[in-house]
Structure 1
């Protein structure tokens, strides 16, 4: 399965020999550049053990060797809260505190 933006991957030697030391990698984008079959260029951030981004990288890896740790949540069509509703509820809350 091709990674998607937001996916967190465990990249090991199975993905490419350059990863003798495994890394955690959060995908920003998957390039559509022509490559060898089964290989792909990924842009993203290398993560530390706490999940913080420590370095931006582009990596060339075999898709079959990638291990997905956290899939990107599927976004549903959600109606955003209008600024008017937020403002009116905050005004009501302030009035309740003052009274």
Structure 2
């Protein structure tokens, strides 16, 4: 089972919950302190697109054992600095 921290990038699919029949990338903001069933958790974070950009802020209810650390995708923080915008 993985330990979750703010900033973690997860691959959330069917193993985490049947609502994710099509897997998504999810960047964790925090683990919510809500009562749940044993082994399940609420996460708050951002759905991430293939370019590494946040496209939607979400709260998701998932089985912790079904979560997987996602392989790094281009554009994620720490990969490289984004170029500064010109004025």
Q: Judge same fold: TM > 0.5, yes or no.
A: yes
Aligned length in residues: 71
| SS of residue in 2 equivalent to 1:3 | coil
Partner SS for 2:65: helix
SS in 1 for 2:70: strand
1:43–1:58 Cα contact (<8 Å) kept: yes
Higher helix share: 1
Q: Which residue of 1 aligns with 2:3?
A: 2
Distance in 2 between the 1:61 and 1:3 partners? Answer: 13
Matches of 2:49 and 2:61 in 1, distance apart? 20
> How far does residue 69 in structure 1 lie from its aligned partner after superposition?
2.2
Aligned equivalent of 2:25: 24
Unaligned runs of 5+ in 1: 71-99
CA RMSD of aligned residues (A): 1.5
Q: TM-score, normalised by structure 1?
A: 0.68
Give the TM-score, by structure 2 length: 0.77
Deviations 1:38-96 (A, max 9, x none): 000000000000110000000000000000126xxxxxxxxxxxxxxxxxxxxxxxxxx
Which runs of no fewer than 5 residues in structure 2 stay unpaired?
72-87
1:51 alignment counterpart: 52
